Amino acid sequence: MIEALKSDEIVEKVGGKFKLCALIQRRLEQLIDGARPLVARDGRTDLEIVVEEIMQDKITLEFIDNAPLEQEEALL
């Protein structure tokens, strides 16, 4: 299952290496905190579960902009 991380398909599916890393980290945290996997566990590790969820389009990464306008302008 970790073989999927070696291909560019998973990187392109998410939109880049940094987005992939962020998605994996956030989902791993959820699983560790007790969230149910969206695919059958079948003795796989949490990382393998997350990769499979991404490959099956069960999870995606969304960015929500909650920064106030003044703060956003300061970042530009």
Supply the DSSP symbol for 4: G
pTM, rounded to two decimals: 0.78
Residues spanned by the domain of 10? 2-75
Question: What digits encode the pLDDT tens for the residues 6-46?
Answer: 889 999 999 999 999 999 999 999 999 999 999 999 999 99
* Buried b / exposed e along 33-70 (16+ C-beta atoms within 10 A): eeeebeeeeeebebebbbbbbbeeeeeeeeeeeeeeee
Q: Say how many domains are in the chain.
A: 1
The CATH number covering residue 58 comes to: 3.90.940.10
Instruction: Determine the pLDDT at residue 6.
Output: 84
Q: Which whole-number Å values give the CA distances from 48 to 33, 64, 66, 74, in the listed order?
A: 17, 27, 31, 40
